[in-house]
Amino acid sequence: MNTAVWEMVEAGGRTALSFGLPRLFGQLYMLLYLSDKPLSLDELTEQLGVSKASVSIAGRKLESWSAVKKSLGAR
3-state secondary structure 27-54: HHHHHHHHCCCCCCHHHHHHHHCCCHHH
pLDDT digit string (tens) for 1-30?
899 999 999 999 999 999 999 999 999 999
Which of 70, 58, 64 is CA-nearest to residue 27?
A: 58
pTM equals 0.91
What pLDDT is recorded for position 71? 84
Q: In the chain, what are the domains?
A: 3-74 (1.10.10.10)
Q: Taking residues 23-41, what's their average pLDDT?
A: 95
Does 75 score more than 70 pLDDT?
A: no
Indicate the DSSP class of residue 74.
G
What percent of the chain is helix, strand and coil (3-state, nearest 5)?
70, 0, 30
Neighbours of 46 (CB within 10 A): 13
Going by pLDDT thresholds of 50, 70 and 90, the confidence category of residue 73 is low
What is the share, in percent, of the chain residues with pLDDT greater than 90?
89
